[in-house]
Structure 1
Amino acid sequence: MKTASTALINLFASDTPFEQFDLYTITLTSGLVLRYSTCSFDVLVGRGLPWLCARSVGGVQIDEQGDGGPRAHWTSGFSTGTWSVIVAPRDTDLIGNHSWLAAVNAGILDEAIVRVDRGYVAAWPLLPTLTLVPVGLVNVFYGRVAEVDFGRSSVMININDPRELLDVDMPRNVYGSGCGYALFDSGCTLSKAAFALPLTITGVTGINTIQTNSSKADGYFSLGSVRFTSGGNSGLQMMVRASFLAGGEMDLMAPLPFTINVGDTLTAYPGCDKQFATCAQKFNNLPNFGGFPFIPAVETAV
């Protein structure tokens, strides 16, 4: 059930024309919050930070017109609702210190939480006023980024509502030799912060191969991840395909959008192949192992 303020209800009840616009609040996994307005004004509600329009520094152009406008699919029951919107960033638009398009291409929107609110005013303010205070807001969608499609100069962001989390295979628990938990989740119980290892880049041998001051054994960071904490890629993260003791080398899953330089710092996290021996020897976490390696193999009855 959607709620509205008394002032907004009175506006609707007055049977007079009004204007509407959308406000996007995007919370990244890093904790950074982006606020964008689709109208020509910065929108201010209460004492919070404003939603920025495309004319403001920090804003971005969101296509709300014609076929490029947002496409919503609202559902009831357990079906997943969706929201798709096209963003057309300029070369000067940034997310943090990164080019908007390059940062999104590097995966900065992965698993981001998006809230879409619709604002209403009786009439647009007179220019050159840049700040707009709406009569009221109504939340029209809430979800997380599911897929990002790239064009030459635009990005389509597809968002699914939280009911997508119910779209899992049944039964919930499948008996197999591998662990059914994700590393550092509530079933695994290990603390991600306890395994964070700050490192420094000591060499770059390829577009996605780096050397660090790590002294961990071969494979320690394989299937893990790194998050850069300085340099051009600061704040961006990437999965690790393979890691080696020699030279503290790591092969990243894909190139990062900006040049990696010697001296850049990062935080590295180990990976897990979900095997019994790995849980016991690498993480000393056997009591919380979520697999069943001793189930007898399938045999044919005679």
Structure 2
Amino acid sequence: MSAYPQALTNHLEGEVTTVCHCWRLTRQDGVVSGFTDHDRALTVDGTLFEPESGFSATEARNTLGLAVDTVDVEGALSSNRIRDEDISAGLYDSAKVETFLVNWRKPEDFALLRVATIGRITRSDQRFVAELEGLTYSLDQPSGRYVVRACDAELGDGRCGFLLEQSGYVGAGVVLSCEGSDAIIVSGLDAFDPGWFLHGTLNWTAGVRAGRAERIIGHRKEARGVVLTLRHSPPAPVDEGDAFSIKAGCDKTFGTCKSKFSNAVNFRGFPHLPGNDAAYGYVVEGGQFDGGPIVP
């Protein structure tokens, strides 16, 4: 637990205390929101904390060593700054949550109790429960690179080095209609081969989902038009006429990197990695042991 400022310490040592909890939530896109379990709005550390959220927290604890500490925060979807469709869209994934202990009579007297990130979020009956993962949680996660055949770079990033914003690899279109909950029929992509945008990204430029991105898991052509299948069902409705931009996708294989993007020199996987049979095999008569690649 953080050291309390002297003014707050003196207040806590009194016979009567006037303290509450405040949560400052900072999303990955930089949007900051404040919530409190007090019955009126408070301004603490330059942030306005609203009381209408109905937040409550489970018991929090700090443990010695590197054990992972977690605490749940529960709230109603009543704040106009927390919407069900935003949670579904992943806007709150990995958001930073700062928990403050505040003297609500003197909001300038506060202490930062903990800093955590949002992990799993569950929703039911117009409520949500967010699991907050402490800073030590990252020490329990695998880090570094894995030796695998597939590329571990993101298409177009610094490690990939491919210039994605060029003719033939980007496009734009408009929604003609929706098919089910996760497929849309679009115009503007007739010049591209089926599957060209598979594993790519679609960024909405107009409509209720403007500014958000979707991962594409299906791209095919039919008589009625080009059909794109999105990884997740859009939490906000997609309407006819919604516009988008789109970028080509990569399946992370060496063959695609070489033939589709001519970027084999920057491939970040290990395409000649032998399989288990070769790795655990042994020398036999007639085998080829000239130092060449086991996998062509």
TM, length-normalised to structure 2: 0.77
Gaps of 5+ in 2: 285-296
Distance 1:218 1:53, change over 3 A: same
Q: How does 1:113-124 map to 2 (within 5 A)?
A: 113-121=96-104, 123=105
Q: How does 1:170-189 map to 2 (within 5 A)?
A: 172-183=144-155, 187-188=159-160
Q: Which residue of 2 aligns with 1:221?
A: 197
State the AA in 2 paired with 1:280.
K
Q: Which residue of 1 aligns with 2:217?
A: 241
> Which of 178, 181, 185 is residue 211 of structure 1 equivalent to?
185
Distance 1:33 1:204, change over 3 A: same
Q: How does 1:239-278 map to 2 (within 5 A)?
A: 239-244=215-220, 247-278=225-256
State the AA in 2 paired with 1:32.
V
Q: Which residue of 2 aligns with 1:129?
A: none
Distance 1:285 1:155, change over 3 A: same
1:7/1:136 contact within 8 Å kept = yes
Once the two structures are superposed, residues 166-200 of structure 1 have per-residue CA deviations (whole angstroms, 9 ceiling, x without a partner) of: 33348x44322112344466644568888876543
> How many residues in Structure 1 have an aligned counterpart in Structure 2?
274
Distance 1:74 1:191, change over 3 A: farther
State the AA in 1 paired with 2:34.
R
Q: In the alignment, is residue 94 of structure 1 matched against residue 80 of structure 2?
A: yes
> Who wins on radius of gyration, i.e. which is larger?
2
Q: Which residue of 1 aligns with 2:51?
A: 53
Gaps of 5+ in 1: 55-59, 124-132
Identity %: 21
Q: Which residue of 2 aligns with 1:128?
A: none
1:30/1:235 contact within 8 Å kept = no
The structure 1 segments of at least 4 consecutive aligned residues displaced by more than 6 Å after TM superposition are 191-196
Q: In the alignment, is residue 83 of structure 1 matched against residue 71 of structure 2?
A: yes
Please give the alpha-carbon distance, in whole angstroms, between the structure 1 residues aligned to 2:161 and 2:132.
Answer: 29
Give 1:106 deviation, angstroms: 3.6
Distance 1:8 1:283, change over 3 A: farther
* CA RMSD after TM alignment: 3.1
Distance 1:71 1:253, change over 3 A: farther
Q: Which residue of 2 aligns with 1:70?
A: 58
Q: Which residue of 2 aligns with 1:42?
A: 41
> Which of 204, 208, 220 is residue 232 of structure 1 equivalent to?
208
Give 1:148 deviation, angstroms: 0.9
